[in-house]
Amino acid sequence: MTMDIELTVNGEQVRESVEPRMSLADFLRERLQLTGTHLGCEMGACGACLVLLGGKPVHACLVLAVQASGETVETVEGLSERGAIADLQAAFHDRNALQCGFCTTGMVVNAHALLGETPVPARDEIRDALSGNYCRCTGYEAIVDAIAETARKRASDAEASA
């Protein structure tokens, strides 16, 4: 059995017919070629597949594509192309807060959501927010630094323009 689904992905209306068993992650990667959403464990333990569903970060491997019908999805590609994470990307780049790059997209999506909810998080709050995002390469410190630096810059920019 396949089902028709209709959803908004990165601002575009998408209509597809899918098997109910297809995860949102596989749907994004295989149907829409949005391969920036990665699969590291397929059971919600690594955070590589985080996307925004209705504006909130969720594991795309734990959501079925059919569950996302009628919803709004944004992936790292969408965030990147609309410029929403340009400063985060720059901070990660400057701080070398990534190596192999496989966890990076999930990290950035999560960091974007964190800073939306907690504009200037303490270091421990950043680590807590990342508690479900596994990175084998960096040891995390550079990632925490990059997020903290983005938060600091946003705060000082906001102050300057106030």
13-52 binders of another protein (CB under 8 A):
19-23, 26, 29-30, 34-48, 50
According to the binding rule CB under 8 A, does residue 118 interact with another protein?
Answer: no
Q: Which of residues 70-109 bind another protein (CB under 8 A)?
A: 75-77, 80, 89, 92-94, 96, 98-105, 108
Coil/strand/helix, residue 65: helix
Q: Are 20 and 66 in contact (CB under 8 A)?
A: yes
Pairing outcome for strands 72-74 and 12-18: unpaired
User: Cα-atom radius of gyration of the chain, to the nearest Å?
Assistant: 16
Report how many residues bind another protein under the rule CB under 8 A: 77
Non-local CB neighbours of 127 within 8 Å, separated by 6+ positions: 140, 144
CB-count exposure of residue 153 (10 Å: 0-12, 13-18, 19+): middle
**Is 66 an interacting residue with respect to another protein (CB under 8 A)?**
yes
**9 lies in the binding site for another protein (CB under 8 A):** no
For 17, the 3-state DSSP assignment is: strand
Instruction: For another protein, give the closer residue by CB, 30 or 158.
Output: 30
Pick the closer one to another protein by CB: 19 or 157. 19
The residue (of 83 and 159) whose beta carbon lies closer to another protein is 83
**Shortest distance, position 146 Cβ to another protein, whole Å:** 10
